[in-house]
Amino acid sequence: MHYGASPPTIKAVPPTLDLAIQQFLDHLRVERELAVATVAAYGHDLGAFARFAAGRGVAAATAVRPVDVLDYLVALTGDGLSARTQARALVALRQLFKFLRHERICESNPTEEIDLPRFGRKLPVFLTLDEVDRLLAAPGRSTPRGLRDSAMLETLYATGLRVSELVKLRLFDVNLEAGYLVAFGKGKKQRIVPLGEAAVTALRSYLESARPHFLRDGAGASVDFLFLTRLGRRMTRQGFWKILGGTARAAGIFKAISPHKLRHSFATHLVERGADLRSVQAMLGHADIGTTEIYTHMSRAHLRGVYDKFHPRA
């Protein structure tokens, strides 16, 4: 998020902290068009700080001092919350006060000189190649439902889409002849992601032999969506979670599984086979390559494991 850096002129009547937070959330929702869940997360973190500040007698947004922010982070530590949670709270406050400076509500940003808490980045969990193969082979392809489930799973593993992106795909977002699809990620950012041969084949079978079955009773407003339920409605995130869980059990995979683990598997398997990080970043839709760099650590761990297992002097 970038805001102008020119010194602001403070408005005559500063808003309360609660009102300032609401203005910021409206900005995220309307102008930046962030997802509902993202705006809600900001609201949760900022609301917690507002309650803490109110307990100290700080009512106005302009009255918040660096010591208030520091004491809040200390209070989070005392409550047993992790460094990651503290960092998220600080990031939310930073963005709030950047916005308030830009809107000439606050003269300074009380979070500027406060460093983010240090925490180790947790390595994501992913499926092995054998587990992926079993998962993708599990749906029976002799029924419309099996063809649909197979197409969804093949597409997810082939592209690394988020589940929210997968279920929002429309017919015109997929080009099977050219072998790619267009995804719309966070902030409605558009990206083009290649489709592998297996995914193209599964999608073509679904479109030709299964999707018309789900349209039989009329899909109404869902007619343009790629993946449909048995009632002809757009597939939901919750619906796909259930499909994935059932398919995993049928494949003999009993570890905890989620759509995001298929996304992690997609990225991990690419990096392990030499894909460059910038390409993986583009396909995943990461705004910051630092988010993608975690897969290089996983690749190094993979190489270390191979070396330890096979080198005679390891």
> Pick from 179, 152, 187, 182: which is nearest to 259 by CA?
152
Residue 260 is among the residues annotated as catalytic for this protein: yes
Catalytic-role residue among 42, 157, 206, 295:
295
Structure tokens at 212: 């018309």
CA distance 224 to 37: 25
- Percent of the chain exceeding pLDDT 90 equals 42
Cβ pair 125, 187 in contact under 8 A:
no
pLDDT digits (tens, 9 = 90+) for 254-299: 888 999 889 888 888 888 888 888 888 888 887 777 777 777 666 6
Question: pLDDT tier at 11 (50, 70, 90 boundaries)?
Answer: very low
Q: What is the DSSP letter of 15?
A: P
Catalytic hit among 94, 101, 234, 263: 263
pLDDT band at 123 (very low <50, low <70, confident <90, very high): low
Q: How far apart are the first and last CA of the chain?
A: 48
Q: Are 152 and 227 in contact (CB under 8 A)?
A: yes
180-184 and 174-175 strand pairing: antiparallel
What pLDDT, on the 0 to 100 scale, is given for residue 119? 54
Sign of the CA dihedral running 15, 44, 238, 129 = positive
The verdict on whether 186 is a catalytic residue reads: yes
| Nearest CA among 58, 65, 62, 28 for reference residue 43 | 28
Measured distance CA(283)–CA(213) in Å, rounded:
32
How many helices and strands (H and E) does the chain possess?
14, 3
Write down the catalytic residue from 141, 162, 168, 261.
162
Instruction: Compute the half-sphere exposure of residue 269: CA atoms within 13 Å on the CB side of its CA.
Output: 18
Q: Is 44 a catalytic residue?
A: no
Is 263 catalytic? The answer is yes
CA distance 133 to 34: 35
pLDDT tens per residue across span 152-162: 999 999 999 99
Across the chain, what does the average pLDDT equal?
Answer: 84
Q: Encode pLDDT of 35-83 as tens digits.
A: 888 899 999 999 999 999 999 899 898 999 998 998 888 888 888 887 7
Contact 10, 101 (CB under 8 A): no
| Domains of the chain, first to last | 17-102 (1.10.150.130), 129-310 (1.10.443.10)
Q: Which of 102, 145, 170, 286 is catalytic?
A: 286
295 given a catalytic annotation: yes
